[in-house]
């Protein structure tokens, strides 16, 4: 809900956190309070993941759009990756996101 890119495969929260709802309906702060699979781990932001990986391995970042809820996704991810020192490839099955990334 606040435009902070989150690292997660699913669009909804149920499978990983047991919570109802979709990623785009929650802020990064709200998502940080949810635990993954009953562990102490939370859903990381893209910035947290980039900081942890710190350029040590190449990344493939898949952008997953939600029509009507992804207008700032490309800009947000682009800003983070511009400062990242490691190798990165971007992919998406959502053609409008790749178009906007170019």
pLDDT for residue 47: 96
Provide the residue ranges of all domains of the chain, joining segments of one domain with +.
14-101
Model confidence at 7: pLDDT above 90: yes
What pLDDT shows up at residue 101?
77
38 versus 14: which is more confidently predicted?
14
Predicted confidence (pLDDT) at residue 102 exceeds the cutoff of 80 = no
Task: Compute how many other C-beta atoms are within 10 angstroms of the C-beta atom of residue 19.
Answer: 14
Which tokens go with 90? 């971007």
Please state, in angstroms and rounded to a whole number, the distance separating the CA atoms of residues 82 and 2. 20
Write the pLDDT tens digit of every residue in 18-64.
Answer: 999 999 999 999 999 999 998 999 999 999 999 999 999 999 999 99
CA distance 31 to 73: 17
CB 74 within 8 A of CB 101: yes
């Amino acid at each position: 809900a606040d435009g902070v890119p989150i690292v997660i495969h699913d669009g909804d929260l149920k499978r990983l956190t047991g919570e109802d709802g979709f990623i785009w309906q929650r802020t990064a702060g709200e998502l940080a309070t949810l635990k993954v699979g009953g562990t102490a781990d939370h859903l990381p932001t893209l910035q947290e993941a980039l900081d942890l990986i710190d350029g040590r391995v190449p990344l493939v970042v898949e952008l997953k759009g939600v029509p009507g809820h992804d207008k700032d996704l490309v800009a947000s991810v682009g800003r983070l990756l511009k400062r990242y020192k490691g190798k990165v490839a971007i992919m998406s099955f959502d053609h409008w996101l790749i178009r906007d990334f170019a």
